[in-house]
Chains A and B, each alone.
Chain A
C-alpha cells in the first residue's frame, strides 16, 4: 500500500469536518472520493498535502508514519495536489508556473529558456498540448488545468491529488483529461480524484470512497458498484429522475435579433449575427464549449455589455443596450455563470446576498428605508425552502460551500417570479443532490409558463432540460435542435466546429 490515512479527524471549533476517516491508495491506482458539498473531501486532502494539521489520526506513506507539516514535506514525499481553485500566478507564463519554486538556474539567474524547454518536453512526454510561453492567466481553463497537473509532475510527484478537476472543464476537455490520467497511471503514477460526476468515477476509477458529513460511508470497487448505489451512499436516499412533460408554448418572451458584439480591446467579433427566441413554457438550451461567445451573449441580454448591432426584446419591450436595472425591471432574473465573481459578495451575510435585485421592491422598502424585519423573514423562509445549509442567515457567504451558495443564488433568482430566467452554468461544482434540486426548480419554472434560457457546458444537463437547443461556436449560432432530435453526438460535432451534413 502506497499511502494510508488512519482514523483522521479534523475539527474546526466544535465542528468535525472529518470524523475518523480512513483511506488508502495503491500504486498505480485511481481512487475516487465522492460526497456532497461540504462532506469534507477537500479538507481531507489538504491534510495529506500539509496545508492543514489533523486534529487526530495518522498518515502513513510507504508504511512509514509521516508528519506532514507543510506542503514542502508533501512535495518531498512525492505528493502533489491540483487544487479545486487553481493556484496559479496569472501574469506568469505557463512555463514559469510549472517550474515555480523548482526553477532551473544559470548562476543567480532564472534560466527561463531551459524552463520552457523542460516544460515542453514534460508536456510532450505526458501528451499534453500547451505552449510554455503563453501567459497563464490568458489561457483557457482547460489549459490552466493542464498547467496545474504539469506543475505537480514537474515536482516529481508519484501521488497526484486532483480536487474537482472536471467541474470547470468542457466535455472535450474532460475527455482529454481522463485520457491523460490513464496515461499517467500507466507511467507509474497513482491518483486521488475528487469529483461530483459519477460517470467519471465509473469510467476511470479503480476504487471509490464516499464521504458524508465528514464520515466514510463506504469504500467500494467500481466494478462492483453502480451510480445508483453511490448516490444513495452520498445523499442517503434514492435520486429522482425528472421528466420533461410536454406543455403548450406561449408567447415570445425573449427575442434576440441579429446582435453583434465586438471586443473593445482587440476589435475581435465576439457575437456574430445571433438570433434566437425563447417562449413561455419553454427551456431553451445553449450548448457550446465555453469561450465561444456564451459569456458575451449573457452580458448582451442582461445589460452588462453593449451590443453594436441588432436588438434585444424582453417581454414585449425593446431592451437593447438598456441598463441592468431597466432590464431586470422588465422581467429578467439571472443565475450568473460565476457565482463568486458575479453572483455573490463573499464577505456580506446571507441576508445581503439574498436581497440583491429585490431590495428595491415595495415589499422590502418604503421611501428608501429597508424593512429589515420582512426581509429577514423572507430570507429565512427562502433558505429553508431551498434547503441551504447554514448555521444562520447572518453568516457571511464565504463560509457556505459552493453548492449551498449556488442554491442560495438560485433561490434568489427563481423566487423573483419573473417571466424570464437566464440560467448560466447553474450546477457547476455542485453535488448531485443539489443538482437534482436545481434542475427540479428550473423545470417547475418552465411548467409555470415562464421562459428559461439555459446556458451550460454540461451536455447532459442541456439534453435533459431543453425543449430546444442551440449550439454556439465562435460567436455564431451553428445549429438548432428539438428536444427529440438532439443527441450528444450531434451537438458535440457542431460544438467542435464540425458540420452535420
Chain B
C-alpha cells in the first residue's frame, strides 16, 4: 500500500503512544519502589472521565486537567492505602480498582450528565495542538513532531525528567533503594511506606494525564470504558521497558508505531483480526531481541504476596 510509511505515521505514532507512555511511566515508578500496579487502566479511565466532567462544568480545559489530576491522585491513594497500609494483594487490588472505576465512571455519567454510553458536547473545548516554535521550522522534522497536544510533549518531558530523577537525584536513588531492598532501606531510616505512597500518587498523576490525553487530547468526549484496555498495554510497556523511562518510551513507541501501521495494513488483503494482532505479535518478537534478564523487584514482591 502506497501510504504504509508516510510522514503522518510518526505523527500518528506519537499521538497513539502518548497515553501508553504516561501510564507506562506511572507503572514504572511504582515498580521501581516495589509496587506492581495493575490498576493503571482504572486510574486512566478515572482521569479521562474527570477531565471531561470538569471541562463540561468549568469550560476551561486547563482547569479540567488540574481537576482530573487531583481527583485521580486521590483515587490512587485508595490503591496505595489498600496495598501499602492494609497489605492487600497488589494484583487483586489493582483489578478491583479497574472494576471500580468502570463502575464509578458509568454511574457518574448517568447521574451527572444523564446519558449512557458517551458524553460529548459541542461547546466543550479539547486540548489545543501546539506548534513548537523552533522544531516547527525544521523542514521535515517540523511536520513530524510539531502540532501535537501539550500532553504529548508533557509525556516526552516526563520521560526526560524521570530519567534524570532516577539517574541523578538523591530522591531517585532512595526510590530505587526501596524497590531493591525495603528492609535495608528501612534500617537506614528511610520511610519506606512514604516513598511507596509517593510513587503510587505520582502514578495517579501520570495516569490522569494519560486519561486526559485520551478524552481531551485525542478526542473531546468521554465514553464508557474508553481506555479499551490501554492500561494493560501500558503495563506491558512498563515491564518490557524494564521500568526504565527510556525503555518505557521505546516500548510504548513500538506499540504506538505498530498500531499505526496495523491501521494502514487493513487495506491489504489480510483478515482484519491478523492486522489487529500485529502490535501484540511484534511486541513478543521484540522481546526475543531485548531479553529481560533482570527480575523486576516489583514482580517478586507481588509474587511473594500471592503465596
Contact = CB atoms under 8 A, between A and B. Distances in A.
Asked whether any CB of A lies within 8 Å of a CB of B in the complex, the reply is: yes
Interface of A: 49, 51, 70-72, 75, 81, 83, 86-92, 96, 100-101, 103, 105, 108-110, 347
B299 interface: no
A109 B170 CA distance: 6
B186 A89 contact: no
A88 B181 contact: yes
Contacts of A70: 189
A83 B170 contact: no
B188 A71 contact: yes
A20 to B, nearest CB: 27
Tell me which of A51, A70, A101, A105 has the highest count of chain B C-beta atoms within 10 A of its own C-beta: A101
A103 B177 contact: no
A347 B181 contact: no
Contacts of B183: 87
A89 B179 CA distance: 10
A101 B181 contact: no
A35 B130 CA distance: 71
B198 to A, nearest CB: 16
A96 B170 contact: no
Interface in B185-223: 185-190
Nearest to A46: B187
Contacts of B187: 49, 51, 71, 81, 83, 87
Contact of A75 (B180, B184, B189): B189
10 contacts: A70-B189, A72-B189, A88-B181, A89-B185, A91-B176, A100-B173, A100-B177, A101-B189, A103-B173, A109-B169
A360 B83 CA distance: 40
Interface size band for B: 10 to 19
A148 to B, nearest CB: 10
Contact of A96 (B169, B173, B181): B173
Contacts of A100: 173, 177, 188
Nearest to B187: A87
A476 to B, nearest CB: 31
Nearest to B174: A101
Closest 10 CB pairs of A and B: A87-B184, A72-B189, A110-B170, A71-B189, A101-B188, A103-B170, A89-B180, A87-B187, A109-B168, A89-B177
A382 to B, nearest CB: 26
Interface of B: 168-170, 172-174, 176-177, 180-181, 183-190, 307
A75 B187 CA distance: 10
A347 B173 contact: no
Q: Is the interface of A mostly helix, strand, loop or mixed?
A: loop
Contacts of A49: 187
A344 to B, nearest CB: 16
Contacts of A89: 176-177, 180-181, 184-185
Contact of B190 (A86, A88, A96, A101): A101
A110 B168 contact: yes
A69 to B, nearest CB: 11
B184 A88 contact: yes
A72 B189 CA distance: 5
Q: Which of A70, A75, A108 has the most CB of B within 10 A?
A: A108
A29 B265 CA distance: 78
A335 B154 CA distance: 57
A96 B166 CA distance: 13
B184 A108 contact: no
A81 B183 CA distance: 14
A273 B212 CA distance: 66
Nearest to A70: B189
A110 B186 CA distance: 20
A103 to B, nearest CB: 5
A16 to B, nearest CB: 24
A406 B293 CA distance: 32
B177 A347 contact: no
A439 B298 CA distance: 42
Contact of B186 (A71, A91, A92, A108): A71
Nearest to A90: B180
Contacts of A51: 187
A92 B173 CA distance: 9
A105 B172 CA distance: 13
Given A75-B189, A100-B188, A105 B181 contact: no
B189 A110 contact: no
A91 B242 CA distance: 15
Contact of A105 (B170, B174, B176, B190): B170
Contacts of A87: 181, 183-184, 187-188
A110 B180 contact: no
Of B168, B170, B190, the most chain A CB neighbours within 10 A belong to B170
Contact of B180 (A72, A91, A103, A108): A91
A72 B177 CA distance: 17
B188 A108 contact: no
A110 B169 contact: yes
A103 B185 CA distance: 14
Q: Name the residue in A70, A83, A100, A105 with the highest tally of chain B Cβ atoms < 10 Å from its Cβ.
A: A100
Given A72-B189, A89-B181, A91-B176, 11 more contacts: A51-B187, A70-B189, A71-B187, A87-B184, A87-B188, A90-B181, A101-B174, A101-B189, A105-B170, A109-B170, A110-B173
Contacts of B173: 92, 96, 100, 103, 110
Contacts of A88: 181, 184
B177 A92 contact: yes
Nearest to B165: A108
Nearest to A71: B189
Nearest to A73: B189
Contacts of B169: 108-110
Contacts of B168: 109-110
Contacts of B186: 71
A427 B259 CA distance: 59
A487 to B, nearest CB: 41
A175 B184 CA distance: 27
A51 B188 CA distance: 10
Nearest to A74: B189
A87 B172 CA distance: 19
A92 B172 CA distance: 12
B207 to A, nearest CB: 25
A88 B172 CA distance: 17
Contacts of A108: 169-170
Contacts of B307: 347
A81 B187 CA distance: 9
A85 to B, nearest CB: 9
Nearest to B168: A109
Nearest to B178: A89
A92 B184 CA distance: 13
